[in-house]
A = this chain, B = another copy of it.
Amino acid sequence: MEFKEAKNKFVQTWGALGSQWGINKTMAQIHALLMVSHEPVSMEDIMEELQISRGNASMNLRALMDWGIVYKEYKAGERREFFTAEKDLDELAVKISRERSKREIKPALKVLKEVSSIQSDNTEAEKHFVDQTTKLYDFVLKADNVLDKITEYKDNWLAKLVVKIMK
Contacts and interface: CB of A to CB of B under 8 A. Distances in A.
A149 B165 CA distance: 7
A59 interface: no
Interface string A150-161: 100000001101
Contacts of A145: 162
A89 B139 contact: yes
Nearest to A103: B20
Given A22-B21, A104-B17, A142-B159, A120 B3 contact: yes
Contacts of A54: none
Interface string A1-17: 11100110110011001
A118 interface: yes
A132 to B, nearest CB: 5
Interface footprint category on A:
35 or more
A7 B129 contact: yes
Interface stretch (A44-52, A61-69, A72-80, A108-116): A108-116
Interface in A106-143: 108, 111-112, 114-115, 118, 120-121, 124-129, 132-133, 135-136, 139, 142-143
A13 B108 contact: yes
A87 interface: yes
Nearest to A139: B89
Given A10-B111, A118-B3, A124-B38, A165 B164 contact: yes
Interface of A: 1-3, 6-7, 9-10, 13-14, 17, 19-22, 35-38, 87, 89, 93, 103-104, 108, 111-112, 114-115, 118, 120-121, 124-129, 132-133, 135-136, 139, 142-143, 145-146, 149-150, 158-159, 161-162, 164-166
